[in-house]
Structure 1
Amino acid sequence: MTYAGLHHYLEGLQTQSGSKLFSGTDGRVTARFFNARLSSVFQPIRSSDNLNLLGHEAFVRTFSVNDQGLSILKLLEHATTDDESVELDRLCRLLHVINFFRQTSTENCDLYLNVHKRLLTAVAGNHGAAFHRVLKTLDIPQKHIVLQLPVISPTQRWVITHVAENYKRNGFRIAVHAQNIEQAFDLLERVHPEVVKLNVESNLVDKDAWLFEDLLRQAELQNCLIVLRKIDSVQALGRLPSFLDSGYLFAIQGNAIDIARSDLTGTMLKSRSRTRRLDDADGQSQQCLC
C-alpha cells in the first residue's frame, strides 16, 4: 500500500459505524445503497499492438463472491430524485477508487470512472471539485483517473462541452463516448478529450477502415487515445485485423479479450504470453483472451 491517506481510511473503516462502505475479510470494500450491496469489478483496456495493459474501466455490480453480480444501472435510472442519483454516482466512484488503488499492482495503470448522464445536469456548480478533494484526502494520484462522460444526443452537445471544461479545470482527464466515427470527429474538435471510445459492434465495419485511419491520425495529433469497446464476441474480435494495418496505435476493450474482475492480479500480466495475436484471430475459438 503506497497511498497513506487510503491506508488510514481503510483502517478506520474497520471500526467505523454509520458508514455506507464496509470492508470484507478478503479486503474488498462494498457499499450499501437502498437495499443493494454493491461491489466493484474492473475490465482491462489494452493496447492494440501488443495487448499491454493501459488501464481498467470500473463497473458497479451487486456483491457476489465469484464476480457474477448484477449491474445496478437500472437502480440508478430509477432513483427517485436527482439528489439520490448524484449520491449514488459519487458513492460508486469512491467505491471504485478504494477497491482499485488498495491493490498495490495498480500503481502504473489508469482507472476509468463513468459519470452518469443525470449527474451532468443535476449538479449545480463546479463539476469535479468534490471528487478532487476526495482523491487528495486519500493521497490517490489524480493523474491516473480518467472520467468517462456518457453518450449524449445532438441537443446535449453543449452539456458535454460545459461539463468537460469543468472537470478539466479540476485537473481530470476526460473520456467521451461517440456513437459513430462522425461524432468522434466532432468530439475531438469541440471537447478535446484525452480518450474517445467507440462501440466496435454497432459502428465499425470493414468499409470504415479508411475513415477510422483518418480518425486515428487526427487523434494522434491531439494526443488522444481511441478505444474500440464492446468487443464481446468472437465475430467482433475477428474484425479487428482490418483496423490494425493503419500504423496508428489505439486501444481495445471487451469480454472477448478480458472479463471484468474484482481481483486485478491476473490482468497485470502481459497478454502476449497468455494469448494468441489478435491478427491471427480466425473466428473459430470461443475462448476469451483472458
Structure 2
Amino acid sequence: MPVEDLIRYFNAADTAGDSTLYVAGDRVEAWHGGLHLGSLFQPIVDLRAERVVGHQASLTVRRADGLALPADAPFASCESGTAVVHLDRLSRTLHALNFLAQQQHTGGYLQVAVHPRHLQAVSNQHGLVYEAILKRCGLGPADIVLDIDLTEIDLSGQGAQALANYRQRGYRLALREPEQALALPAVLALQPDILRIATADPAVCASAHLVGTLIEIAGINDGATFHSAQASGADLGQGHLFGPPASACRPTHKGARNPYNPLSSSGARP
C-alpha cells in the first residue's frame, strides 16, 4: 500500500483526533499536541562483519516556531496512561512508515523504543495493536526489535508479562542495562535477544553468549572504542563512527538484492 494511502488510513483510524500524520517531502511527520514529530535513524553495525544490519529509530520534536525540543518532551505532557500509549504507538508508527519509505535500499531490522509508561498502562496483549499497524505497512514483528529500558519496569509482575507477550508475538527484545544494574543473571533470565550496554566488558559478553544473547555497545565514536568493542566479543555497535542519527537510513543492500533482517551477519542467532 502506498505511503499516502497508509497515512489516510491511520489518520481515519485516529478517532480521538489528537494526531495527524502527513507527508513532508520524501518523509512522514506527525502533528501532535502542537508539536511536529519526525524520525531519525542511526545505523547498527555487526562488529564482526562490519556491515549495517539494522537501525535505531529516535524521535525529533519541534514546536510550530521551529524550536527543537528533547525527544521526551511530548511524553512529559501526557497526563494519563492512555495518552502515553497513544503517543508511543504514534511514534513507532511514524518510524515504521519512514523506514518503509526507504526499503528499496534499506533492509535489516528496525529498533524502536517502547516507553516504560506504556508497559504499565497496558494490562495484556502487549504488541497486538502495533502488530496490526506493522502489517498495514508491509512489516511484521520479525522486522522489529523493541528497545526497552529496564530502569522503570517492575520485572516481578506486569513488566515481565509484557516482555513475554512481546516475545510470543515474534518481536525481538533489546534490553537496556539500567544505571543501577540488576544482577546480570537476572537480566539474562529475561531472555533478551540483545543486551545494550555502554561499555565493552568481555565477562558480560561471554555470559550473554552462553544463553544466546547478543551484546550491543553504544557510543562507538572512534577507532579505539571500536577495536575495544570487537576485542571484548561484542556483537553489535552504534555510534558516530558508523554514522549519526539522520533522516535517511544507511543502505544495507543494492536494489537488485533482497533485504535482510537477521540479528547477525550469518542470518541466524548465534
Against the structure 1 CA distance between its residues 71 and 198, is the aligned structure 2 distance closer, same or farther, given a 3 Å change threshold?
Answer: same
Q: Following TM superposition, by how much is the alpha carbon of 1:72 offset from its aligned partner in structure 2, in angstroms?
A: 2.6
Partner in structure 2 of residue 51 of structure 1? 50
Q: Choose which of 224, 230, 234 in structure 2 pairs with 1:238.
A: 224
Residue matched to 2:21: 21
State the match for 2:260 in structure 1.
Answer: none
Separation in 2, partners of 1:244, 1:27 = 36
After TM superposition, which residue ranges in structure 1, 4 or more long, deviate above 4 angstroms? 5-8, 10-19
Q: How far 1:107 sits from its partner (Å)?
A: 5.3
State the percentage of identical aligned residues. Answer: 24
Greater percentage in strand: 2
Deviation (angstroms), 1:61: 0.2
Kindly name which structure, 1 or 2, has the bigger radius of gyration based on alpha carbons: 1
Cα RMSD over matched residues? 3.2
Could you say if the C-alpha distance between residues 240 and 9 of structure 1 is closer, same or farther in structure 2, counting changes exceeding 3 Å? Answer: closer
Using the TM superposition, give the Cα deviation of residue 52 of structure 1 relative to its aligned residue in structure 2, in angstroms.
0.6
Partner of 2:211: 222
Question: Relative to 1, partners in 2 of residues 1:55 and 1:181: Cα closer, same or farther, differing over 3 Å?
Answer: farther
Whether 1:258 and 2:243 are equivalent positions in the alignment is yes
Q: Name the CA shift for 1:253/1:181 in 2 (closer, same or farther; >3 Å).
A: farther
Instruction: Name the amino acid aligned to 2:207.
Output: Q
Letter in 1 for 2:246: R
The whole-number CA distance in structure 2 between the counterparts of 1:52 and 1:181 is 32
Larger relative contact order, structure 1 or 2 (CA cutoff 8 Å, min sep 6): 2
- C-alpha displacement of 1:249: 4.7
5+ long unaligned stretches in structure 2: 254-270
Aligned-residue offset at 1:84: 1.1
Counterparts of residues 1-290 of structure 1 (less than 5 Å): 4=1, 8-10=5-7, 20-24=20-24, 26-62=25-61, 69-105=68-104, 108-152=107-151, 156-158=154-156, 159-179=158-178, 183=182, 185-200=184-199, 212-231=201-220, 234=222, 238-246=224-232, 248-264=233-249, 267-268=250-251
TM-score by length of 1: 0.74
How far apart, CA to CA, are the structure 2 residues paired with 1:184 and 1:46? 27
- Residues 44, 55 of structure 1: 8 Å contact kept: yes
Q: What is the CA deviation profile of residues 249-287 of structure 1, one whole-angstrom value per residue up to 9, with x for unaligned ones?
A: 5111123431111112xx2269xxxxxxxxxxxxxxxxx
Q: Distance in 1 between matches of 2:163 and 2:206?
A: 23
Question: Residue 152 of structure 1: SS of its match in structure 2?
Answer: helix
**SS of the residue 2:151 aligns to:** coil
Question: Could you tell me the TM-score, scaled by structure 2's length?
Answer: 0.79
Q: Does the 8 A contact of 2:11 with 2:20 survive in 1?
A: no
Runs of 5+ unmatched residues, structure 1: 205-211, 271-290
Number of residues of Structure 1 aligned to a counterpart in Structure 2:
247
CA 1:107–1:241 in structure 2 vs 1: closer, same or farther (change >3 Å)?
closer
In 2, are the aligned partners of 1:230 and 1:255 still within 8 Å (CA)?
A: yes
Letter in 1 for 2:239: G
- 8 Å CA contact retained: 1:60, 1:72: yes
Distance in 2 (alpha carbons) for counterparts of 1:259 and 1:43: 6
Which is richer in helix? Answer: 1
Q: Tell me the distance in 1 between the aligned counterparts of 2:248 and 2:89.
A: 22
Task: Give the 3-state SS of the residue equivalent to 2:89 in structure 1.
Answer: helix
